[in-house]
Amino acid sequence: MSVRQPGPGRGLHLSAAVAAPDVEAVRAVWRAARAAGEPQWYLDLIAAVGRTKAAASTVGVAA
């Protein structure tokens, strides 16, 4: 079993997710990466960026 590498734009989706201003933008990047056929492990990396941004946006917010 071989691990599929990200597509021709290697790293572009991940870079876009890191540069995204908010969680909604990261979600759009994730959807684009999925539509491009990126492997699940790569989608998971993008999702981790989104979780980090979501956590950062709630720091200091009273429940």
Q: At what angle do helices 40-58 and 12-19 cross, to 10 degrees?
A: 10
Mean of all residue pLDDT scores within the chain? 85
- Please check the confidence at residue 57 and state whether its pLDDT lies above 60: yes
SS3 of the chain: helix, strand, coil, percent, to 5: 65, 0, 35
7 vs 17, more confident: 17
42 vs 11, more confident: 42
* Three-state SS at 40: helix
pLDDT band at 5 (very low <50, low <70, confident <90, very high): low
- Please check the confidence at residue 10 and state whether its pLDDT lies above 70: no
